[in-house]
Structure 1
Amino acid sequence: MTNFLQWHQRVGTQRDWMWRGWQTRYTYLRPDGARNQGAIKLEDTEAKPIASATSTTPIILLHGFGASIGHWRQNLAPLAENHTVYALDLLGFGASQKAPVNYSVPLWVDQVYDFWLTFIREPVILAGNSIGSLICLAAAAAHPDMVAGTVMISLPDPSVRAEAVPAWLLPAILAVENLFISPIVLRPLFSLASKPAVVRRWVGFAYASPEAVTDELVEILAGPAGDRGAARAFCALFKAVGNAECGPGVKTVMRNLTIPMLLIWGKQDRMIPPRFARPHQFVECNPKCVELVELDNAGHCPQDECPEQVNQAILNWLSRNFAPVA
């Protein structure tokens, strides 16, 4: 069913939060709010969101590279029917400040943890897409007091290259990569890549369904490129995600966790192809805790391509693992 509300009207109550002196954006939606969407709500305040009366586990949504809160516009309300749901714009992305820092998974984990300490302070479900899912996993390992479970959509594994490439070849590969991630190369690339027509083509590669690449989606992804410091942040972000040590080895972390974990993968994912990523190996390393759902006709961002299927998969998993407290 088509939703005619603008995306800003479908992502809950947006607020700005100062983190380490940088402005960051987040949103939240409570079960009552999920049934009363409509007006755009943007409050410049650090007041704590009013806690929901529901006794279900809260959820925090973390977007992928180049995305933002808006990428969850088709998921927030369905998940908030019975859970308080938060979504963050990670530092450097979306409406959050394009800070002059060295970006890394540990930095974003710190952002998520400090947000949790400030506003929530009870165990949550972390759900992420792409690098957002890697942040979920790293946060679960670093802060077990925060994370009750994780949902990881299209999970990248930084250790894959180290395992696949001979050690003697790595220096040559790194030298070539350092050339291509220099600001001299990346700044002109940013000018090109931030154009809506180019964004549309890039998303068309990431998505399996052309009809899912809408004008609204292009607006969400291309809009932040006009922010102050966006070009500089793009260079730093590109360098961060290209670093083989940007995050933990997935299997190493997974086998040591005892929380419920849900993996969701699009069978037509061209960014992290299942035939290369072999997501079943993650289930095998911790079969008691890890579940895998593979979706037909879905690419790298199934939460946006086929939201009904992803929402239902998450809700089913939640009902099996996180019954409401009486």
Structure 2
Amino acid sequence: MAKKISTLTFEIVSGIVVTTTLFYYKCAWTLFSLLRPNWISWNNYSEPMLRNIEKKIFKILKVPYRGWYVDIGPVVGPADKIWTISLNTESKKTPLVLLHGLGAGVALWCLNLDAFAATRPVYAFDLLGFGRSSRPTYSSDSLEVEQQMVNSVEEWRKEMKLEKFIFLGHSLGGFLATSYAIMYPHRVQHLILADPWGFPESPPDYHDLPLWVRALSYVLTPFNPLTAIRVAGPAGPWFINTIRPDISKKYAGVLDDDLIPNYIYQCNSQTPSGESGFHTMMSGFGWAKNPMVKRIHKLREDVPITLLYGSRSWVDHSATDVIKAMRYKSYFKWKVIPSAGHHVYADKPELFNQIVLKSCAFADGEESELEDETYGDKIPQTDLTQKYSFTSFQSGDDDAK
């Protein structure tokens, strides 16, 4: 009986389709692994260099900050530590906690930290497996990886002794912040999602998506998403700046042009721990194997949500209307930030900061609710949850309310 060979098919340009085998990619990668120099000597990762780049980026801050490692114990690895920064911790207002997206770290919030810390305590940390945090080996099961990441956030919260906080997550961070809020709703005063990843179900047709998203979805499926950065070795920062020159431009006039590409390279030239976890959870790069739309209705009704999208973002926003319908009894506001892409916090930092601060003030009872970005019609009060099956985790917090 003939053995079935898996194929990968993607459209280079309209009308030109390339089909190749998954076996080809695995052979090519094996050959490269044999021919390339030793990984340790080939890549240019340096913990002191990453630390120094982060310090240079944070020189633009006017509010003093503190950085340190929070020991969360054996959550995923034998001794996990999470790199954390804090600002204005003397304030008595509800703390704001920031969680970055894939391949990022705390320094990418540099355009937002001063504004946020002017009114309240602010904490940001490198998710376990990213940035300067520990690099444990995550599970090969998508739901277990998600739970491990959420558990690491909860252990971090316990060590920080934060009873309740406003949770702001970008991209992957938005997905995990929502998962955390489902498990520990009594800890989240307000959930702010900045262009979150992993909410809608994967569409049956990819043709309406940008070419680069389709290419990543098909070509990189066998590999971790940021493999090319490590393959580039010492040329990694140049490679990042070449394929994504817009990243540096977001910080132009504030930071030297080479700082952000070098920071991203240093964050991602290490062992791809969190990245491998993301790879396990993803379905075609742009979607999650266990999309949040299937279980958002399990989030407690009294947890408010503010959802921010970039008008030019590649992220699939199709789940928004469904979520609004599911949570018609709850506070759910969404805003589209004009001329912003996926990195809304850096594309339009002033407008982004303003909306986040208003949401924080509303959470503290100091501001009226945001105006919703709607088409003028009221959300129909119908129960759409029957359409979706869901999986949820049981909270292990003894004092859960």
- TM-score by length of structure 2 reads 0.62
1:239 aligns with 2:279: yes
1:13 aligns with 2:66: yes
Match of 1:60 in 2: 97
Which consecutive unaligned segments of at least 5 residues does structure 1 have? 31-50, 167-176
Match of 1:138 in 2: 179
Conservation of the 8 A alpha-carbon contact between 1:116 and 1:146? no
Q: Matched residues in 1 for 2:135 and 2:129: separation?
A: 4
Which consecutive unaligned segments of at least 5 residues does structure 2 have? 1-54, 206-216, 367-401
* Percent of matched pairs sharing the same residue: 19
Match of 2:21 in 1: none
Conservation of the 8 A alpha-carbon contact between 2:182 and 2:298? no
| 1:261-294 superposed Cα distances (whole Å, 9 cap, x missing partner) | 1101000002x054xx353443333243111010
| 1:37-76 superposed Cα distances (whole Å, 9 cap, x missing partner) | xxxxxxxxxxxxxx52x33111110000000001111112
Alignment match of 1:86 (pick from 123, 137, 143): 123
Q: Matched residues in 2 for 1:225 and 1:151: separation?
A: 26
How do residues 1-326 of structure 1 correspond to structure 2 at under 5 angstroms?
6-9=56-59, 10=61, 12-19=65-72, 20=74, 21-30=79-88, 52=90, 54-102=91-139, 104-161=145-202, 164-165=203-204, 180-182=220-222, 190-192=230-232, 195-204=236-245, 210-212=249-251, 214-227=257-270, 230=271, 232-233=272-273, 236-243=276-283, 247-250=290-293, 252-254=295-297, 256-258=299-301, 259-270=303-314, 272-274=315-317, 277=318, 279-287=320-328, 288-323=330-365
Q: Give the greater-gyration-radius structure (CA).
A: 2
Conservation of the 8 A alpha-carbon contact between 2:229 and 2:239? no
Match of 1:48 in 2: none
Task: Summarize the Cα distance change of 1:216–1:284 in structure 2 as closer, same or farther, 3 Å threshold.
Answer: farther
Q: Matched residues in 1 for 2:227 and 2:111: separation?
A: 32
* Matched AA of 1:233: S
* Matched AA of 1:85: V
- CA drift of 1:297 comes to 0.8
| 1:278-313 superposed Cα distances (whole Å, 9 cap, x missing partner) | 534433332431110101110001111111111100
- CA drift of 1:181 comes to 4.5
* 144-153 vs 260-269, greater mean Cα deviation: 144-153
* Matched AA of 1:268: R
Q: Whose helix fraction is larger, Structure 1's or Structure 2's?
A: 1
* Matched AA of 1:319: A
Q: Give the 3-state SS of the residue equivalent to 1:160 in structure 2.
A: coil
* Matched AA of 2:292: G
Conservation of the 8 A alpha-carbon contact between 1:60 and 1:127? yes
Task: Summarize the Cα distance change of 1:305–1:102 in structure 2 as closer, same or farther, 3 Å threshold.
Answer: same
- CA drift of 1:251 comes to 5.7
Q: Matched residues in 2 for 1:111 and 1:148: separation?
A: 19
- CA drift of 1:191 comes to 1.1
- TM-score by length of structure 1 reads 0.74
Task: Summarize the Cα distance change of 1:304–1:247 in structure 2 as closer, same or farther, 3 Å threshold.
Answer: farther
Q: Matched residues in 2 for 1:111 and 1:234: separation?
A: 12
- CA drift of 1:188 comes to 6.2
* Matched AA of 1:215: D
Match of 2:209 in 1: none
Q: Give the 3-state SS of the residue equivalent to 2:201 in structure 1.
A: helix
Q: Matched residues in 2 for 1:99 and 1:249: separation?
A: 25
| 1:100-139 superposed Cα distances (whole Å, 9 cap, x missing partner) | 2237322221111111111133111110100100111101
Q: Matched residues in 1 for 2:347 and 2:136: separation?
A: 30
